[in-house]
A and B are shown apart, each in its own frame.
Chain A
Amino acid sequence: MTVLFGVLLLTLLVITAVAIVRTKNLFVAVMLLGIFSLLIAANFFLLDAADVALTEAAVGAGISTVLFLGALALTSEFEHAATPHRWLSLAVVTGAALVVLYATFDKPEFGDPNAPVHQHVAPWYLQKTPEYIDIPNVVTAVLGSYRGYDTLGEVFVVFTAGIGVLFLLSARRGPAGRRRPDQAHDPAIGLRSHVIPLVVSRLLAPFILLFGLYVQFHGEYGPGGGFQAGALIAAAFILYALIEGEERTLRVLPQGALNALMVGGALLYGGVGVVGMLEGAEFLNYSVLAANPVKGQQLGIILIEAGVGMTVTGVLLSIFHAFAARDRA
């Protein structure tokens, strides 16, 4: 039955992908990309990968849609006409697709316990985690501790993307006379007609923040962790910005604080590693952080997840403000 649902969802995915490629209206493509992310998240959920599904739903369907729309507001809505008769591209793509299809014939069966991926490191992780780290969610244990170096790389990639976007897009705020009237208070725009979303968003924003914090700290017991929590907290601020206007959001959480979050998160992660070195063990060895090595591992994972969450929040909000400021200036 799982296979049937998986096949149905994947068929919908293919249909969506074809529709995205075929449409000329970029806005429609952005909407369909939202649906695409949802389908992939549902598929991950069917495959029992809850952390990945949560990240895909939060980042792909929520934040990415908002950022695409921000970019779309700066450019035109329709694609330029494609150059016709690109036979060489078609041939290359078809050849690559056939090679990949041929490669899938050798894959092991879905869920086969004797597959190579289940043989080497995975059983060791599953057996040794209760002994070394003692947290129920093995995914967080692998992400945070066994492969902590990779996660350090991920945090620094997110951080680099953030400062890259800020370098490219950070526009000077225009002189005060040229600024459009603050949309939240301009009566001609009629916030009166938007009272219901205003009230509901004001009710919901604290709960989304609280839920983001819950996901951050609950990552050791269930699906969750720094990336998902960062996306959710950024989503709460983006909701506030959508309703109240981007300038008021900058007053609530100014760009300086966002920069501090970005840098602070990456520093926290690196700092935990360096503290491990100062205590005499290797870089990113958490066992020496506390008297009991198991408690040390848990403390280390909490700290680095906090670092990840801070950096992701700072970067996503900075990118959002960079797009919106570009629009305004």
Chain B
Amino acid sequence: MSDAGDGSAVAAGPGEVVLEVDGLTKRFGGLTAVEDCSFSVRSGTVTALIGPNGSGKTTVFNLITGYIRADAGRVRFDGKWIRRPDPASLSRRGMTRTFQQARVFGELTLIENLTVGVHQPWWALFRRDVPPDDRAMALEVLEEFGLAGLAEHAARELSYGQQKLLEFASSLMGRPTLILLDEPTAGVNPVMIEVMERRIRDLHQQGVSFLIVEHEMSLVMRLCDPVIVLDHGTKLAEAAPADVQRDPAVLDAYLGA
């Protein structure tokens, strides 16, 4: 973890750990969703997080990003250990996420969806709702996703796949260093999956890291390395995609009881 000399943290260099999860545990009543889960994500990678249904993948995302409070464990992002993650401050520091079911502001336009969270000082609350700079940047991002034509439409008018693209687009506004995608292709048609895949590759080339929960195995095999496998809320395996496919423990988890 390098220091910029003035005490501020600098994004992890390639190969260094950008996100580390240590001993995360979460119980819901009698059910243990996540149990002593530990893994790390290296900078500059597109890491996959896979596992059979109920293995706790989305819960892990929610714990990391602070949407749910963990019973135990901690998260390290950008060199600092965090006991109580908070999505807003994580977002400001460069970690954003999307949701399994596209979560956009239906009543707001696409541009507004992208710009509503852009960091502003408090007095900016009384200025124009979308300053020209923000608008320009938002349009640029929408362009890359092929959504610029719908910029002034309300988000609820979009198809489900378009909403997932929109959500992905909003996660880019703060120029994040690590993006957590929760089942980005679920319920999305192949054309849009292609758009997403292209964006992920482009961003990856620019140095953005990804942690992706995905069920679509062909996409995982094409795109991701390494692949982390979760089962019953804890890490089962971590390897290159081809090796994970052959791992007997992994096969057991998927095919077994």
The finding on whether chains A and B are genuine partners in a shared complex, rather than unrelated, reads no
User: B residues touching A (Cβ–Cβ < 8 Å)?
Assistant: none
